[in-house]
């Protein structure tokens, strides 16, 4: 298994579940508290590549108030990525990266795809 990174929000129940799954499997990831240390545009581009998509809709939280406030519904790719970089609460969670693969762990059990 490659190096692991976990984009975490401690207030998120799904993040806590993923943290428990990783601990049960003996995985000690680099934990990114993304609300305190927001990923920049390059990091977001890398996440999309590791997720195997070019669609930033995969990593944006549409139910966050900022999504509507910024008028992101129907916005272009660049606008969505710039918004996530500027407003990290828009980043979907939890995201786990292992080596050169990543998943949005919704449901949390999706993280097992990276560990098997």
Q: How far apart are CA 62 and CA 107, in angstroms?
A: 17
Q: What is the pTM of this model?
A: 0.94
How does strand 101-104 pair with strand 4-8? unpaired
Residues designated catalytic: 12
What tens digit of pLDDT does each residue of 89-112 get?
A: 999 999 999 999 999 999 999 999
Phi-psi sector, 71: left (phi>0), alpha (psi -120 to 50), beta = left
What count of Cα atoms within 13 Å lies in the side-chain half-sphere of residue 106?
14
What tens digit of pLDDT does each residue of 57-80 get?
A: 999 999 999 999 999 999 999 999
């Amino acid at each position: 298994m490659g190096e692991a990174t976990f984009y975490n929000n401690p207030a998120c129940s799904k993040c806590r579940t993923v943290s428990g799954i990783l601990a049960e499997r003996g995985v000690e990831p680099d934990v990114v508290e993304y609300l305190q240390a927001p990923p920049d545009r390059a990091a977001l581009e890398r996440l999309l590549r590791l997720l195997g998509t070019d669609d930033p809709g995969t990593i944006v939280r549409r139910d966050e108030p900022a999504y509507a406030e910024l008028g992101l519904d129907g916005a272009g790719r660049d606008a969505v990525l710039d918004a996530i970089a500027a407003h990290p609460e828009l980043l979907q969670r939890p995201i786990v990266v292992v080596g050169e693969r990543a998943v949005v762990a919704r449901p949390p059990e999706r993280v097992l795809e990276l560990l098997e």
